[in-house]
């Protein structure tokens, strides 16, 4: 829920725009301040990723405060699979990891080779403590 203070404004002096493609809400308005002077404002903010349906956004105005209520996305329920350890949510979308045993073993082998090469380089290029004692 957002609450935006618009003291001194009437409802017909501002507009609320929802852009589904950009996932934003823009509020802009103007009112006469006196003589030829005007008070203008524009405020834009990004909708949170857990807003389910922008058509269900509800706005009300009272006591100089614009209140915007955003419907929240329902939690994801997964019932087709017993093993949910390979599922994750990113930006409100559900993904399944596809990792094969062969890929895991290949990664382990790569790490082992890296450790072995690193150890060899360290042993060959560091001065030996025994060599220093002999001289």
Sign of CA dihedral 111, 114, 118, 120: positive
Name the average pLDDT for the chain: 76
At 37-49, the pLDDT tens digits run 998 989 998 887 7
Angstrom distance (rounded) from CA 17 to CA 26: 5
**Beta-carbon contacts of residue 14 (< 8 Å; ≥ 6 apart):** 6, 27, 28, 29, 30, 41, 66
Looking at the structure, give the CATH architecture of the domain made up of residues 2-82+86-95.
Sandwich (2.60)
At 51-62, the pLDDT tens digits run 666 777 888 999
- pLDDT surpasses 70 at 91: no
């Amino acid at each position: 829920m957002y609450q935006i203070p618009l003291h001194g404004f009437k409802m017909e002096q501002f507009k609320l725009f929802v852009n589904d493609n950009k996932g934003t809400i823009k509020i802009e308005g103007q009112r006469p301040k006196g003589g030829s002077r005007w008070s203008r404002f524009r405020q834009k903010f990004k909708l949170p990723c857990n807003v389910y349906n922008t058509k269900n956004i509800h706005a009300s105005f009272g006591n100089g405060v614009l209140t915007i209520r955003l419907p929240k996305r329902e939690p994801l329920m997964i019932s087709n699979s017993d093993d949910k350890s390979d599922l994750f949510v990113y930006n409100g979308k559900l993904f399944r990891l596809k990792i094969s045993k062969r890929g895991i073993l290949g990664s382990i082998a790569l790490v082992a080779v890296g450790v072995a090469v690193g150890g060899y380089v360290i042993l060959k290029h560091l001065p030996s403590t025994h060599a220093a004692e002999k001289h």
